[in-house]
Chain A
């Protein structure tokens, strides 16, 4: 298990849990559900924010927000 910020571009993973309760409400609302498959699609040139494909669309989040999402990379 690693946090989303440690994924590489193009890498797929399943969301497992959140380690920040406050933020998890917003993330769930945006379709980042536990069990959902995501792909890290891009990282901004300055290293933050990054973007993921989730629930059929593309979502951008800041690094500290990505850090709160625990994922399991697809083997």
Chain B
């Protein structure tokens, strides 16, 4: 395994959470990264490359950024990935880089001594060395190098200092002759290696494991006493304590959190709308261009209404995802997220959620997709799973057009309750209902979900730091990339299927209508064209599907026309309004659809859209998982179809039962 023959070096990065490992990874690789999977688990695998010229040689260094861990006795799924990767040596790692927080050496050296004992060629990166300097922590580098027996490189990954030195050290890395495990192991068994020890004992909770950790801390205390000088009073920590006085204050702490949530809400809900409408507008123009410049036919129709519509449906999410992760990045990087978690934990835990569930829950009112991706920061697997599961129950912005249309059907503009507009109250009620059902579901999930992971809250409260633009933008970019490439595939596939179903139909009737439409497009009136399109939709596969499911949705008060809209709005809830417009031959303006719907009567001459039907529709849309993008995202985030399918079944059942209940009650 000589490095100099091909100059390809495979590096693994390991370190404590909050040691600046990801920042170091970004500093090493820049944009040269990709996100993949470890087989069979939900954890993302971050890999990157860098080229390095040194002594007339060109090195091609590929780097895996392993999940953060506190020791080689893993407690969470993420930690287990990191440990197994090295203990089982899954991918022939050449050099191991242990990232150590220089301001927090005692705890960080536990992992470092374990890593060194694995006998890889090892480099210790003493990260955040700038902060250690500011805190007047004096480190005897040469002494540390000697006692650890490996290269030790001071780095400041946030300001890109020491990166070249680290790369140099990687090219000449060696394994240590020192060992930090208890020598009596070796006395009992000549062939003892720490790797083999971990293979048998790492999952245990036994005296032998505890003894190993205590033995190491003894050695570490000795190393610290000899080679590190730490002053008593730490200025950085005083600043942190002062800020904490505000952020964990019984009144101001919650007010500040409320302010942060308000900002997130504003950005995801309102600011994101501008870029979203540009994307939408751009694609509409493109679709129009294609249909007017390409010859009419299957292919151009597939291209503009299937493929382009699908792609635009994927890209539309980018502004919200980017903005939410910008916020999450700032909150995590600065250290505030841990404080939000600290003051919210007790409240959220009652519902099986986590202090860190707060941000996804609030951003869920805008859109479940970025919020589900945002649950990554929740450390406990169970609490994260519950948060992902309940998020789509929160009323998102795609439900708004549906709610608005239906509420307008049954409550006139000028109805007031005291000074309050009734429509506004009902709309707010729908949002509150969403929140209420979300929490109740979480409460039940807490009791139902069994996970083989002991839940600890034991969590570091890191010192406050200025967030770094570079590492946050790389993170945002990676998130967007992952969404577009992974979830995007599924969304595109479903939207092409839906396009096919609504633009094709069985038998001659459908084809005849298509021809008539083509004629009408050049010579007919707009009214005629709309009528033809209504007929065509009814004769399409989607139309047949609407008729087919009618017996099942009858008890909810829905006819086949609503059935068609239920099928098409599986793409996204707001499609409901557009489909209803096509079915009733209205143009897409709300007032026009509203009038058509209000004039619709049944055989008995009574209006179809009465209180009972409308409330049934409202509840159905509040609870049903009518959103392929959510399904695709949950699949991507949980890495299995189990959870999205469970969610689909649960939410559809909930929607059906409550719509049924309210319809029977009101009619």
Question: Interface of A with B (CB < 8 Å)?
Answer: 21-31, 33, 41-42, 44-49, 51, 55-62, 65
Contact = CB atoms under 8 A, between A and B. Distances in A.
Secondary structure at the A interface, as helix, strand, loop or mixed, is mixed
Contacts of A49: 342, 345-346, 457
Contacts of A27: 458
Interface in B34-58: none
A55 B241 CA distance: 16
Interface in B226-284: 230, 237, 240-241, 244, 248-250, 253-254
Interface of B: 70-71, 73, 75, 103-107, 110, 205, 209-210, 213-214, 217, 230, 237, 240-241, 244, 248-250, 253-254, 338, 342-343, 345-347, 454, 456-463
Contact of B345 (A26, A30, A44, A55): A44
A33 B219 CA distance: 13
Contacts of B237: 58
Given A45-B343, A47-B346, 8 more contacts: A26-B75, A28-B210, A29-B75, A45-B253, A46-B346, A56-B105, A58-B462, A65-B457
Contacts of A26: 75, 456, 458
Contacts of A62: 345, 457
Contacts of B110: 29, 31
Contact of B347 (A42, A46, A60): A46
A48 B346 contact: yes
A55 B106 contact: yes
B460 A44 contact: no
17 contacts: A22-B205, A23-B456, A25-B209, A29-B73, A31-B110, A42-B248, A44-B346, A45-B248, A45-B249, A45-B250, A46-B343, A49-B345, A56-B105, A58-B461, A60-B338, A60-B457, A62-B345
A49 B343 CA distance: 8
B181 to A, nearest CB: 16
B209 A56 contact: no
A39 to B, nearest CB: 11
A51 B342 contact: yes
Contacts of B342: 44, 49, 51, 60
B458 A59 contact: yes
A42 to B, nearest CB: 6
Contacts of A55: 104, 106-107
Contacts of A31: 106-107, 110, 217
Nearest to A24: B210
Contacts of B456: 23, 26, 65
A42 B339 CA distance: 11
A59 to B, nearest CB: 6
A59 B459 contact: yes
B627 to A, nearest CB: 34
A30 B75 CA distance: 12
Nearest to A18: B210
Contacts of B104: 55-57
Contacts of A46: 343, 346-347
Contacts of A48: 345-346
A28 B213 contact: yes
Contacts of B71: 29
A62 B210 CA distance: 22
Contacts of B454: 22
Contact of A25 (B106, B205, B461, B462): B205
B174 to A, nearest CB: 28
Nearest to B355: A49
A54 to B, nearest CB: 9
Nearest to B218: A33
A68 B173 CA distance: 42
A15 to B, nearest CB: 12
Contact of B107 (A23, A25, A57): A57
A22 B210 CA distance: 10
